[in-house]
Amino acid sequence: MMEASRGVSLLLLVIIGCSLCLVCRAQIPIPARTDGFVYGGKPPTWGETVVIEAFNDPVCPDSRDAWPELKKVVEHYGSKVSLIVHLFPLPYHHYAFIASRSIHTVNKINSSFVFPLLEKFFKCQEDYYNQPTYKKPTAVVVDEITKNLVVPVIGKTSLPAYKAGFNDSWSDQATRISFKYGCARGVTGTPYFFVNGIPLNVSGSPLEYKYWTDIIDPLVTQKLRATPSGSFKNVLAEMA
Ligand SMILES: *[C@@H]1O[C@H](CO)[C@@H](O)[C@H](O)[C@H]1NC(C)=O
Ligand SMILES: *[C@@H]1O[C@H](CO)[C@@H](O)[C@H](O)[C@H]1NC(C)=O
Ligand SMILES: *[C@@H]1O[C@H](CO)[C@@H](O)[C@H](O)[C@H]1NC(C)=O
C-alpha cells in the first residue's frame, strides 16, 4: 500500500512538473503590427491574394541566390500574388543580426528604403561573412555597413536619423521579434518559404522560376467565389 501510494505521488510530481514547464514557457513578445515587409507595394488582400512569405537572412548566400527568381515570379503574377519578406538572422552568420537591424532601422525612416538596402546586402554580403570580419571590431563593421551600404540607399541627410535609430533599443527589439517570429513558425534556415501559410519543403536552396510557377499557377487560377449557377460545389470538389 505504502509502495503504491509512493508510486502515485511520484507520478503526480512528474505530471505537475511537466505542466509547470509548459506554463513557464515565456510569451513571445507580440509586436504592435505583424512582422514582415510588403514587396512591390502589393499588400495581401485577405481571401483574394496568393501570399508568398520568404524568410531571408541578408548575409546568407542562398537567400541572395533565390531572390532574383522570386522577384520575377511575383512581378509576373501582378496583383494576384503578394510577397512578404521576413528577416531571419541566422545565429551562425555573425553579422546577420546587425544587417537585419539596419534594415529595420531604414524602414522606420522610409519603408521604400527596405528592399534597396536588402539588395545592397545581397550584392555586397561577401564582405560581411564571418571570415573577412573575424578580426575586425564590431564598431568598425557597423561603420563600414553604414558607409558602404546604408548611406548610398538613404542619402547623407537621413544619416543622423539612421544612427540614432540603429542605436535605439527599438530596432534591437524589432530584429529580435523577426527572429522569434521565424522560430515560432518553425523556420530553421534561409531562405524559407510559405505559400498561403503552408511551408514549402525546399528551404535553404534557391528555387527555379518553373518550380514557382508549378506551385502558383494552379492557385491563382482557382475560382473561390460562388457563382449564380452554383459552381461553388465544383470548386470544392476540385480542391478535395
Ligand atoms: C520615401 O521615399 C520615397 C522614394 O524615395 C519618396 O517618394 C517619399 O516621399 C518618401 N517618404 C517620406 C515620408 O519621406
Ligand atoms: C551608439 O552607441 C554607441 C555604443 O553604445 C555609442 O558609442 C555611440 O555614440 C552611439 N551613437 C549614437 C549616434 O547615438
Ligand atoms: C517536396 O515536395 C514535392 C511535392 O510533393 C516533391 O516532389 C519533392 O520531392 C519534395 N522535395 C523534397 C526535398 O522532399
- SS3 state of residue 87: strand
In the predicted model, is pLDDT for residue 48 greater than 90? yes
End-to-end CA distance of the chain: 56
- Counting ligand 1 atoms within 8 A of each CB, the residue from 107, 109, 112 with the most, and so the one to mutate, is 112
Q: Give percent of the chain with pLDDT exceeding 90.
A: 77
CA distance linking residue 193 with residue 204, whole number of Å: 9
In degrees and rounded to multiples of 5, residue 48 shows phi and psi of -120, -50
Strand order in the sheet with 81-87: 37-38, 81-87, 50-56, 192-195, 198-199
Instruction: Output the DSSP codes for 132-164.
Output: HHTTS-HHHHHHHHIIIIIHHHH-GGGHHHHHH
- Mean residue pLDDT of the chain comes to 89
- Which grid cell is 74? 511575383
Please tell me the predicted confidence (pLDDT) of residue 230.
46
H/E stretch holding 50 reads strand 50-56
The residue nearest atom 9 of ligand 3, judged by CA position, is 201
For residue 121, how many other CB atoms are within 10 A of its CB? 26
Measured in Å, residue 153 CA sits from the centre of ligand 2 at 21
Q: Are 153 and 116 in contact (CB under 8 A)?
A: yes
CA distance linking residue 109 with residue 75, whole number of Å: 26
The residue nearest atom 12 of ligand 2, judged by CA position, is 164
pLDDT, tens digit (0-9, with 9 covering 90-100), for 131-156 = 999 999 999 999 999 999 999 999 99
Residue predicted with more confidence, 48 or 5:
48
Ligand closest in space to the Cα of 172: 2
CA distance linking residue 122 with residue 84, whole number of Å: 17
Measured in Å, residue 77 CA sits from the centre of ligand 1 at 26
* Number of alpha carbons in the 13 Å side-chain half-sphere of residue 167: 7
Please tell me the predicted confidence (pLDDT) of residue 234.
46
CA distance linking residue 109 with residue 116, whole number of Å: 13
Q: Confirm or reject: Cβ of 196 under 6 Å from ligand 1.
A: no
- Counting ligand 3 atoms within 8 A of each CB, the residue from 194, 200, 201 with the most, and so the one to mutate, is 201
What residues contact 121, with CB distance under 8 A and at least 6 apart?
58, 59, 99, 103, 128, 149
Report which ligand 3 atom has the smallest distance to the Cα of 202.
13
Whole-angstrom CA distances from 83 to 18, 70, 79, 166 are 40, 9, 10, 26
For residue 65, how many other CB atoms are within 10 A of its CB? 14
pLDDT, tens digit (0-9, with 9 covering 90-100), for 196-237 = 999 998 867 778 999 999 999 999 998 776 655 544 544 444
What letter does residue 30 receive in the DSSP assignment?
P
- SS3 state of residue 85: strand
Length of the chain: 240
CA distance linking residue 70 with residue 225, whole number of Å: 28
